[in-house]
Structure 1
Amino acid sequence: MTTIRLSKLHGAGNDFLVSMLSSEQEVDDGFSTRVCDRHRGVGADGLIVVLPGRDGADCTMRLYNTDGSRAEMSGNGIRCLAWVANRAGLGDGKRLVVDTYTGRREVELELDTDGDVTGATVDMGPVTFEPAEIPLDAPSPFELEATFHGVTYGGDAVGIGNPHLVLFVDDPGEARVTQHGPRLEHDDRFPKLANVEFVAVTGTDELTMRVWERGVGETLSCGTGVCAAAAVAHRRGLVGEQVVVRVPGGEHRVELGETVRLHGPVVHVFDTEVEL
């Protein structure tokens, strides 16, 4: 029987199981479905496998959704990875270089007196509004509309390594996220499906949102979704370049420039071992 060690962590309530594997070890797509199940497994929003780095990277991130599909990037997940990688001695204790499906990402670490990571700032790379890069099957990513059960949504599509549909609503707390999120996720205009944010401007340079994540469902937070919401709101002139985004699981700080920088917390919950 082969067992692997899993560490459970969360970033603003968005929880992940993280495991360090050698380049020879593999997990099948069904493994993430089993261990992420909250009733029959350990329970999490996703599984992160940490593999050896190459060409100057400290490690490589492989991310699985709860439905077994692979995801490109997670702003919360990479902070959880950073906690595990730092404990294993990867990086220099201040910075971690991680290869992801969307490219190389640098993570600046915040440590407590015991040397554990308590938060991190991630360079998430640039956002794109180019339909082919999102990807989006529409001539423009702006002013997209969708109507369900008499509710008409309006917003913009944006890519930040994965596709997002950012919708502006009066009150995210009253939005029909679980009812309409699945249909918006599978909107025909998104060939790779969509992560969907329900967003409101709630203060100066402040947003509040809920999110329906592709391949997962509603989560307490989504790092790439937070960045997507801030970028769309900034393009519309609703917020400045430094934005606080509040989600059910907590809050993040976003800095918008040539690339997007995301700051948020990370909390270690426990370690366990499971059969591979």
Structure 2
Amino acid sequence: MSTPLHLCKLHATGNDFLVCDPAETITGWMGSPTAALAGLCNRHTGVGADGLIFLNRGSDGADCTMKLHNADGGRAEMSGNGIRCLAWLAHRKGLGDGKRLVVDTDAGRREVDLDVDPLTDELRAATVDMGPVTFEPSAIPLDAPTAFDLEAVFHGTRYVGDAAGMGNPHLVLIVDDLQAARVTQHGPHLEHDERFPNRTNVEFVAPTAGKPDAIDMRVWERGVGETLSCGTGACAAAAVANRRGLVGERAVVHVPGGDLTVELGETIRLGGSVTHVFDTTVDLDDFKPRRVRPDAR
């Protein structure tokens, strides 16, 4: 017996997601959801993605809801790039008024302004009100008296940075040479820093040479690894860079997958492109964990 799941693959500045509708397909499935989601996101044996998003119809003024899973199958609170990808599919399904989408996430309600191609009626970019940044340790959450000037030493490399909360935790490190930053080597260790009870995303950030109000960023995402882009990470990085006098209230964040715009105020607004890659249908039963006989060779 098969359990079909219809998926829409999209990316926002290279940060790619599988978006499906509705979530009940897998919540009523008799397999292991976490293992199945990790299998779907696996780039070698699955469809491949940085995360998977369930889109459901909203209520109480929300057009839809967003349930986000990282590539390891675990839940995550929020993704600025992911919510823009969700907005693409929601718009195609006729949710919202064509100009704005209201989305309930695990980090709270978010409003998304839609930039729709007038010829194709396809979403090409979106700007999200990401809510406020917090530097309050208990809200990040962070087990430390302050979120500022945190020191971490790993294999002789000393990092100093600030923690920030964007509905999920971030550790933003200002570095001299971004290309030389050992993101994949040190990222896993920093993600599991014991001061972050829920683990943390880690941003390596440097000012963009010759460009005021711009920063370059690489990111190690919690539960995923290094990715081409991270929306909440760009917001956290811009907020920390602003606090340190590196950028003003409007910043461009250059990531390996493209450019994001961040506007700082009482809340933070994140803007960037959205690209549809393909639609597909998979059988969830193909992603059940397989038992291997002890005598199997």
Where on the TM-score scale, by shorter chain, does this alignment land: which range?
A: over 0.9
1:217-261: CA deviation from partner (whole Å, max 9, x where unpaired):
000000000000000111112210000000000010000000000
Contact 2:23 2:54 in 1 (8 A): no
Secondary structure of the corresponding residue to residue 84 of structure 2: helix
Aligned to 1:177: 183
Amino acid at match of 2:147: P
Larger radius of gyration: 2
Contact 2:99 2:113 in 1 (8 A): yes
Aligned to 1:193: 199
What pairs with 1:1-276 in structure 2 (closer than 5 Å)? Answer: 1-21=2-22, 26=27, 28-112=33-117, 113-202=119-208, 203-276=211-284
Secondary structure of the corresponding residue to residue 226 of structure 1: helix
Change in Cα spacing, 1:4 to 1:93, as seen in structure 2 (3 Å) is same
Contact 2:18 2:49 in 1 (8 A): yes
Contact 1:58 1:96 in 2 (8 A): yes
Aligned to 2:292: none
1:148-181: CA deviation from partner (whole Å, max 9, x where unpaired):
1221111100001000000010121110000000
Q: CA deviation at 1:275?
A: 1.1
Contact 1:201 1:207 in 2 (8 A): yes
More strand by share: 1
Q: State the 4+ residue runs in structure 1 displaced beyond 2 angstroms.
A: 22-25
Amino acid at match of 1:93: G
Amino acid at match of 2:258: G
Secondary structure of the corresponding residue to residue 137 of structure 2: coil
Secondary structure of the corresponding residue to residue 42 of structure 1: coil
Contact 1:22 1:52 in 2 (8 A): no
Contact 1:23 1:52 in 2 (8 A): no
Contact 1:233 1:239 in 2 (8 A): yes
Change in Cα spacing, 1:245 to 1:22, as seen in structure 2 (3 Å) is closer
Report the TM-score, using the length of structure 2 for normalisation. 0.91
In 1, Cα distance between equivalents of 2:221 and 2:17: 14
Count of equivalent residues: 276
In 2, Cα distance between equivalents of 1:25 and 1:6: 12
Q: Which runs of 5+ in 2 are unaligned?
A: 285-297
In 2, Cα distance between equivalents of 1:135 and 1:252: 25
Secondary structure of the corresponding residue to residue 240 of structure 1: coil
Q: CA RMSD in A?
A: 1.0
Amino acid at match of 1:188: E
Contact 1:15 1:44 in 2 (8 A): yes
Amino acid at match of 1:6: L
Contact 2:162 2:171 in 1 (8 A): yes
Secondary structure of the corresponding residue to residue 49 of structure 2: coil
